[in-house]
Structure 1
Amino acid sequence: MDLIPEAIGLLSIPSTADRPDELHRALEYVLDLVGPGFTVERFESNGKPSALVYEGPRRRHFPVILNAHLDVVPATPDQFVPRLEGDRLYARGAQDMKVAGLVEALVFREVRGPFALQLVTDEEVGGRDGTRHQLQQGVSADFVVIGEQSGLRLVTESKGIFNADLHAIGRAGHSAYQWNADNALLPVMRSVEKVLARYPVPTEEAWRTTVNVAKIETSNTALNQVPADATAFLDIRYPPKDTDFDGRTEAEIADYLQTFCDPGVTVSVYHLDPPHKADPGSRQVRLIEQAVRNQGYDPSILRKHGAADGRFYYQRGIDAVIFGVGGQGLHGPDEYVDVTTIDPYYQALREFLQSV
């Protein structure tokens, strides 16, 4: 199959979160590829459009949903000028995950059945206005295939995610007379150090909880003034079996993180999403594995450190797996899709839907 012309067209659209018109354009591009003869339900939440496509009269439950996000992270203008070099198609979104989304749309169009194609435009900024919004409107499935990059392997487990702020209020003063002031940065920094002592920065891949100190800031702008406020912003990812976080509420996690903090430092936790886990022995997973083997690829199980929209299905007891094309460099300056994986991905996905 030759999907390169269509891929170049979609990859040329700079569908980033700050460009709502381009999000709409990317969505319409894929809907045009699917073509007529299907029911198209459109959704919108906080300015982020999405669609659900299926055959027949309006309904909400499907045996299989193919999920694809069409938004991308920001990039330099040249990354929206796709270039094909040998077996590599370079562009922002090539691996993550516009090309896989096109394959899902094509397979959906050709294997007509009781399935749905779910197209969203906000996964890179949290997925709450796309996949989660549709689920809140009653959309459900027995099984979901999310076309994120996997090199034709199957991801049945990924980490949970939340953000935490460590905040302190001190007392401003002249930096030459520090005994008359209270530097808010210092207790925040000591608290961060204690959190990192419990969850050190990994030096190699490890399936454990990680804490990224994204930024530490203060409203103070003068070097000769003691800061009166400070906040550290943390991004925390945790696997399903970490009992420090898994199964806990935002308030419970805030209380736990508070134990690492100096007096006067307060903790806020938000955007808590649990880990994603699917049954690796389910009938649907076995069918995909066999379809991948039939293409000469190894369908071994993967675990992903990053979060994806599968977590919203997991929260509702619905198995979702990540299954996509090969490539490298997602979110980087040299992102590419391995075009040799496009056809076997198409064939495996087609065989899976036909077997279901």
Structure 2
Amino acid sequence: MDRESLLHLIESDRNSHIAFLQEVVQAPSPNPPGDTTQVASVISKFLREKNIPFDTLVYKDECPNIVSEFSGAAGTGPRVAMNGHMDVFPVGNDHSGWKHGGPWSGYNDGNAIYGRGTVDMKAGTVASIIAYAYLYSLRDKLKGSIALSVVSDEETGGRHGSRWLLDTSKEQWGGDCMINAEPGGLQSVRFGEKGSLRMTFTIHTKGAHGAYTNLAEGANFMAIRLINELKSVESIRPTDLPPTVHDYLQRPEVRDTINTIMGQGAADNVLVPTLNIGVIHGGLKVNMIPEQCVFQADIRLPIGLKAETVLDHIDTILLSFPDVSYTIQREASNPASFCDANHPLAQTMANMAEEVTGKRPVAIPGLGATDCKFWRYKGIPAFVYGVSPQSMGTENERVLIEEFLSVVKVHAITVLEYLSTR
């Protein structure tokens, strides 16, 4: 089957693809708590109906990982990994702002599918599974092999999902290169992403009654001073970024693409660390000067900047704050990652995306984290091509049906082309 025939087949099956996505969205999988057993059951049913062999690998009972693999019969070639996650952002207790029956409706208004996780990343995961199913049916025509991993625990660190699978068997589930459908926008192929440094700061100082502000500054006011000082981390610049990558990211077409997909100003944030402060806990009563304050900081690290450089900067700041200590949230802290944007798989993906959408995507890094980082940490090139991130994690999160189907097509014909020509 050639590409044109496969694209025609995918289009003719569009109603079944939409129905499968709706069924996946209707299976709640918020993380936390991270229980993906319902959605795993839906995906397992799909694979069984397609007579595709698969296994369920479990590190934690409520966090199953569905895996499948096959070898092509047309000769030796590279091993392509396809990966997506089942867990999604939590939704909270108030669903009154959701249209169409709440966050798990999977409602189809003819233009979009609604529900939590449609964008991040059930549409992408379903697209990869569907593409894999088509490729499995064409295995006699393919060289090399394909490994599919549909995982849990992406939203909270990957300890029970992708990271565990790769630590258990890099050769089996890592492959020679990886394709992922996280929300990235049809205008881009993402070859890297920022890292994260998640920290908890604790201030212990002298407290007092609120009427006696002469006796103590108070932990909360000290936290305000410290947070203002911590903003200076955003002045640090990468020291280990290859000049060719730096220059590439300054190109007008690259900056325009980043700003279009991620919002105006995003291109300015790609090469700088950014600081976000989480909920501050300090004090029991308004008429008391609190003696303790705790807050969390989320620092996003651009490619080329190591966490140690930022921590050295913070340690210098804290010389003026002897009452402050911090801990690093290791599970939520990961280095930035990137790979060669000109890798043959990335080029093939760009070619196929242009064929499907009429517009050639631009290679860019992302601001948010994906499981691709675990492949890149092990030296395996990993690339993202997925739906628009617009509405991700919001009330009435929704994915455009045509974008979803475009991702199905691009992933399927990318791997078909890559494993037919290598």
Question: What's the TM-score, normalizing by structure 2?
Answer: 0.75
Distance across 2 between alignment mates of 1:294 and 1:353? 14
Match of 2:58 among 29, 40, 43: 43
Distance across 1 between alignment mates of 2:410 and 2:389? 17
* Residue in structure 1 matched with residue 313 of structure 2 by the alignment: 256
Unaligned runs of 5+ in 1: 57-61
Distance across 2 between alignment mates of 1:45 and 1:312? 19
* Residue in structure 2 matched with residue 273 of structure 1 by the alignment: 334
Distance across 2 between alignment mates of 1:71 and 1:315? 22
The structure with more helix, counted as a fraction of residues: 2
Tell me which amino acid in the other structure corresponds to 1:121: S
Distance across 2 between alignment mates of 1:131 and 1:211? 27
Distance across 2 between alignment mates of 1:223 and 1:20? 36
* Residue in structure 1 matched with residue 277 of structure 2 by the alignment: 213
* Residue in structure 2 matched with residue 134 of structure 1 by the alignment: 165
Distance across 1 between alignment mates of 2:344 and 2:264? 37
Distance across 2 between alignment mates of 1:18 and 1:347? 32
* Residue in structure 1 matched with residue 200 of structure 2 by the alignment: 165
Are 2:293 and 1:230 equivalent residues in the alignment? yes
How do 1:192-341 and structure 2 match up within 5 A?
A: 192-199=227-234, 204-205=265-266, 206=268, 207=270, 208-218=272-282, 220-242=283-305, 246=306, 248-249=307-308, 253-261=310-318, 262-264=320-322, 265-271=324-330, 272-295=333-356, 296-326=358-388, 328-341=390-403
The structure with more strand, counted as a fraction of residues: 1
* Residue in structure 1 matched with residue 218 of structure 2 by the alignment: 183
Moved over 3 A (4+): 18-21, 178-182, 252-255
Q: CA deviation at 1:181?
A: 4.1
The number of residue pairs the alignment matches comes to 343
Q: Is the 8 A contact 1:43 1:134 kept in 2?
A: no
Distance across 2 between alignment mates of 1:103 and 1:83? 18
Q: Is the 8 A contact 2:147 2:175 kept in 1?
A: no
| SS class of match (2:213) | helix
Distance across 2 between alignment mates of 1:214 and 1:18? 17
Q: CA deviation at 1:182?
A: 5.3
Unaligned runs of 5+ in 2: 1-12, 72-77, 96-100, 140-144, 236-262
Query: Are the structure 2 counterparts of residues 18 and 188 from structure 1 closer, same or farther at C-alpha, using a change threshold of 3 Å?
Result: closer
Q: Is the 8 A contact 2:202 2:294 kept in 1?
A: yes
CA deviations on 1:42-71 (whole Å, 9 max, x unpaired) are: 122374221221137xxxxx7111111111
Are 2:17 and 1:9 equivalent residues in the alignment? no
Q: Is the 8 A contact 2:199 2:297 kept in 1?
A: yes
* Residue in structure 2 matched with residue 66 of structure 1 by the alignment: 82
Q: Is the 8 A contact 2:219 2:293 kept in 1?
A: yes
Tell me which amino acid in the other structure corresponds to 2:183: Q
Distance across 1 between alignment mates of 2:290 and 2:389? 46
Match of 1:125 among 129, 142, 156: 156
| SS class of match (2:155) | helix
Distance across 2 between alignment mates of 1:273 and 1:18? 19
Query: Are the structure 2 counterparts of residues 254 and 40 from structure 1 closer, same or farther at C-alpha, using a change threshold of 3 Å?
Result: same
Q: Which has the higher contact order (CA 8 A, sep 6+)?
A: 2
CA deviations on 1:218-265 (whole Å, 9 max, x unpaired) are: 2x21222221111221011121123xxx2x45xx64343122233222
